[in-house]
Structure 1
């Protein structure tokens, strides 16, 4: 699948940027890189779903060389994809002069990368277990029998007479042995992939834990602002009601005073 390689992104010139120029105020390079990483993470998550489906076929009647080829290709493709995204996540984690929104984006991508990485590690272990089980089953079918060699001349003659029909089973044994070698190669490749990614996942997870307080503080501030806004809206609504009631009371008082004044004036005039 097509993807802008991260090395090419990192090679883009940044020294000519002028931080005081309004057009760079939002840091388009940071935005482009984070959007690319987010898209790539979505693709890797899709790969993990496809891997899960294919690995579930291993060891069943639907286990074919084509299925194993797809599993191998997806494992390699996904492993390389995680390496690329991991390097990109580490790069944005070390980005200078991040504002609050950018810090939130970094934390979000880091956590999504860590979650996807854990899911991929589970898939790798499943594939490893399937290959080991397959290898063990093949080894059992190719193990030598416990029967002893024929001792009598008659048995030796019978062995010679049946030597030609046994050529086919021997060819099958050779085929089984080649499959065992293939399984061993698959096991080594998966183990190597697990080892290569473990350190990368640990590095990203360490930075996420170290910066966790920052995102928690941002979330807390956002929640506080939301609560304050709701409180202010409630207070304004109550104030509006109080003000309306005060106006109604003032109008009633004015009407009463006007009536009293009219009565007094009429009493003076008539008196």
Structure 2
């Protein structure tokens, strides 16, 4: 069933129901949860936009620890919110005895969630690629600092090593190494987040597919019922027509019999 069909289904009963009648109003809990999920999805859209801008700075001259901190915080906040929204969407999708308008809301929420999550996963992959490139470059630079460019016994190599040690103290080397370790930990964290959200995406997609099959079945049943009703109506009309014809014939026969009976009685009286 298409979304246009769902929209038409949603609009059909509104002309027949009274909005102030509790029995015709949507489930308040369903409405509250769906509005809460839509609000969170709107917030996630803003997070994705900010993340895209911040990630674009990684690896450039404007790349700072503050930028990386903002990227980390936005990634973590968005990941947790997506997991929360995903659970809510799954709960909405499994809601029982939903009205046509609620079915439309189910489909809309699932569609918005999948679209936003797909965009966020693209942003995650961009951040992961930038972090890997940065960590790899930093590790290579640190390795070059810690090892001479020639044999250990070579005087030129020893002088170069001493010059490197003079330019970068052991404290600085340790600090750079700790930064690299942090970036590698961030990479593992992003990879874990990608895996978790992939599983959530598949779960929601599976539920939506099942819902789609259910809606198609309902639509087919409605169409079959409509066809059967039309057939039954035609049969009833035919039966009514045959019944009227039969009554007309019976009346004619009775009239003929009455005329014949009258003639016979008159003949008997006259004779």
Q: Does 1:58 align with 2:58?
A: yes
User: Is 1:113 paired with 2:113?
Assistant: yes
Alpha carbons 2:86, 2:113 under 8 Å: kept: yes
Aligned CA distance change for structure 1 residues 159 and 56 (closer, same or farther; 3 Å):
closer
TM-score by length of 1: 0.65
Does the C-alpha gap of structure 1 residues 25 and 159 become closer, same or farther in structure 2, counting only changes over 3 Å?
closer
CA deviation digits over 1:121-164, x for unaligned, max 9?
11111100000000110011112233111357x997x699x589
Give unmatched runs, 5+ long, in structure 2.
Answer: 1-20, 221-271
- Counterpart Cα distance in 1 of 2:100 and 2:218: 8
Counterpart residue number, 1:74: 74
Aligned mate of 1:148, from 118, 138, 151: 151
Secondary structure of 2:89's partner? helix
SS of aligned partner of 1:46: helix
Change (3 A) 1:111 1:159: closer
The runs of at least 4 consecutive aligned structure 1 residues that moved more than 4 Å come to 162-165, 213-220
Which residue pairs with 1:100 in the alignment? 100
Query: 2:39 corresponds to which residue?
Result: 39
Contact 1:100 1:218 in 2 (8 A): no
Alpha carbons of structure 1 residues 165 and 213: separation in structure 2 relative to 1, 3 Å:
closer
Any gaps of 5 or more consecutive residues in structure 1?
Answer: 1-20, 221-271
C-alpha distance after superposition, 1:217-259 (max 9, x if no partner): 9999xxxxxxxxxxxxxxxxxxxxxxxxxxxxxxxxxxxxxxx
| Greater share of residues in helix | 2
Q: Distance in 1 between matches of 2:48 and 2:157?
A: 57
**1:116-127 to 2 correspondences below 5 Å:** 116-127=116-127
Please report how far the alpha carbon of residue 24 of structure 1 lies from its aligned counterpart in structure 2 after TM superposition. 7.3
Distance 1:122 1:151, change over 3 A: closer
Q: Would you say how many aligned residue pairs link Structure 1 and Structure 2?
A: 197
Alignment of 1:186-201 (within 5 A): 186-201=186-201
Show CA shifts across 1:35-56 (max 9, x none).
1101110001110111010000
